Amino acid sequence: MTDPKALMFRFGVVCGGSSLTAAQPYNNIVRVGIENMAAVFGGAQSIFTAAYDEAYQIPTEFSAETALRTQQMVAYESGISKTVDPLGGSYYVEYLTEQMDTEITKVIAEIEDYGGAEKAIEDGYLQSRIAQRALERKLQTDAGERVVVGQNHFRREDEDANDFGEVFKLDAKIAGQTVERFNKVRAERDSGKAAAALQKLSKAAAGDTENLIPHMIDCCHAYVSIGEMVGALKDHWGEFQEPVGL
Number of domains into which the chain is organized: 2
136 and 176 both lie in a single domain:
no
pLDDT in tens, 108-119: 999 999 999 999
Q: Is residue 159 part of a domain?
A: no
113 and 35 both lie in a single domain:
yes
Long-range pairs for 55-59: beta carbons < 8 A, 24 or more residues apart:
55/20, 55/21, 55/22, 55/25, 55/28, 56/22, 56/25, 56/164, 57/164, 57/167, 57/168, 58/168, 58/170, 59/168
How far is CA 188 from its chain centroid?
Answer: 35
pLDDT at 203 over 50: yes
User: Are the beta carbons of 48 and 186 closer than 8 angstroms?
Assistant: no
pLDDT at 8: 40
110 and 218 both lie in a single domain:
no
74 and 131 both lie in a single domain:
yes
DSSP sequence for 75-89: HHTS-GGGSS-TTTT
25 and 97 both lie in a single domain:
yes
Q: Is residue 244 part of a domain?
A: no
pLDDT in tens, 131-177: 899 999 999 999 999 999 998 999 888 888 777 778 888 888 988 99
pTM, 2 dp: 0.69
112 and 181 both lie in a single domain:
no
Residue 149 dihedral angles phi and psi, to the nearest 5°? -60, 125
- Of 39-43, 188-192, 212-216, give the lowest mean pLDDT range: 39-43
Domain that holds residue 218: 172-237
Q: Is residue 148 part of a domain?
A: no
**In the listed set 103, 126, 142, which residue is the last one of a domain according to the structure?**
142
Q: Within the chain, where are the H helices?
A: 4-16, 27-41, 61-76, 91-114, 117-122, 125-142, 172-188, 191-207, 213-221, 226-237
Neighbours of 237 (CB within 10 A): 11
